[in-house]
Structure 1
């Protein structure tokens, strides 16, 4: 680990890292920022390629992050920085005193799904144009906690490396297999592997979530916050499922619905 000090927001490294706060910069560089001691520690412990860590020189390096750095398999540049530099690289009102530059992970869907061909018990989550960063981050955190095997994010969804998404996952994104795919194509590939597709919908033949069959290889589809599941994914459904509403609310938040579905699926599968 190489230590140095940066105090100017005009430093070339700081300017480059600042570009990672925008989607365009993240796509051009193939990297993203994580902020806060917990997330930096999770990134390091997960084995993600952490390129650079900057910490507030007045706060010192978080002890847990220091331990994680010592055990991290890759070389990581560690830099002490001024509060102004950390503020420049922060999206929060109160900068947390540490940020890390992390390489994006390129999970190969075809290779991964082929490895599942011999497994009889797999639970996936397909997300159809989830657009709210907080919703996506919460869904990923919940999916990882519930033991979901993988999440496929469809085109038109919010950028998974958006800062708010990253913070809302609380580190789950570093442990959960994530894929960005055309959902219709992914569903067809999943079916060729013997999987079934359960779609969240109020269609006439939809069954209540606690009456559905979740055994075997299944993928649960959660739709867009406003319009629900796309016509393409409705056409892929082997079964429609819904969560009954007993009060006056017209719908549930997408993250809440995803949580109910995945935990019911796991309860059903363990019964």
Structure 2
């Protein structure tokens, strides 16, 4: 446990970390902040590259986070700080008393797909086409991890993966689930070239119900933008257009809800096929 104590919001380290609250700062530094004992613990336990932890000197660090830090194999700069400093680094109305600076994932899509796609038959990917709402993205990632999705690909034009609200909504799933930011058209073309099928979620008149589709083999499901839906480029690449029937008066489902229905249906169908 470090002995340094920071009390001033004008401290150079605090100023640098404060820049990570903005997308521009995160992209420039290749790092992001996580706030709260649970997310810091998850970052440590998952093996993410945690660089710095600041905790409230008046509240101390909770026991679970201390245990995770004690088992963490890398050196971490641990600093006690005043509540004013923690408030400066918080996006919430009630700062949670601990933040961690974490390096962005170095996972490479090309290496990952090369290792996984040819040797694994029952793969399930989720492709997100310009998802804008951070709460939606975080919930989708949390749901995808719970459903056993192999990876999520976030298309260009989407909300920043390392947005604070996204991070909080994932409840740590981001540290356990491979997530890549790529041009979806390129990913779709490569996926199909490797023998995978592409299912595109849309209310198009030619789409079929989600429960009538075969999700076996290698499947990628595309979820579209909250307002505009899936792009024309992804529609053109679809092997099958699929939709979730609406029985009430609502025009559509929330993107996160739709993604959850699709991925759990895919896993249900696979379980039934194997039983």
Corresponding residue number in structure 2 for 1:105:
105
Match of 2:167, SS? helix
Name 2:172's counterpart in structure 1: 171
> Is the 1:3–1:77 contact (alpha carbons within 8 Å) kept by the matching residues of 2?
no
Alignment partner, residue 199 of structure 1: 200
Report the alpha carbon displacement of residue 202 of structure 1 after superposing the two structures with TM: 1.7
TM-fit CA distance, 1:50: 0.4
Deviations 1:33-79 (A, max 9, x none): 00000000000000000000000011111111111111111110000
Q: Secondary structure at the match of 2:4?
A: strand
Three-state SS of the structure 2 residue aligned to 1:165 is helix
The answer to whether residue 74 in structure 2 is matched with residue 74 in structure 1 is yes
Flag structure 1 segments of 5+ consecutive residues without an equivalent: none
Quick one: distance in 2 between partners of 1:71 and 1:5?
Answer: 23
CA distance in 1, matches of 2:270, 2:3: 50
Which residue of structure 2 aligns with residue 87 of structure 1? Answer: 87
Normalised by the size of structure 2, how large is the TM-score?
0.97
Which segment is superposed worse, 108-117 or 24-33?
A: 108-117
- What's the Cα RMSD here? 0.7
Alignment-derived partner of residue 252 in structure 1:
253
- Any idea what SS the aligned residue of 2:90 has? coil
Distance 1:3 1:172 in 2: 31
What does the per-residue CA deviation read over 1:11-38, in whole Å, with 9 as the maximum and x for residues that have no partner?
1100000000000100111000000000
List 4+ stretches of structure 1 deviating above 4 A.
none
Question: Could you say what secondary structure the match of 1:3 adopts?
Answer: coil
User: How far has the Cα of 1:146 moved from its partner?
Assistant: 0.4
Residues paired across the two proteins, number: 271
Aligned counterparts of 2:166 and 2:204: Cα–Cα separation in 1: 30
Return 5+ residue gaps in structure 2 as ranges: none
Q: After alignment, is 111-120 or 170-179 more displaced?
A: 111-120
1:146 aligned residue: 147
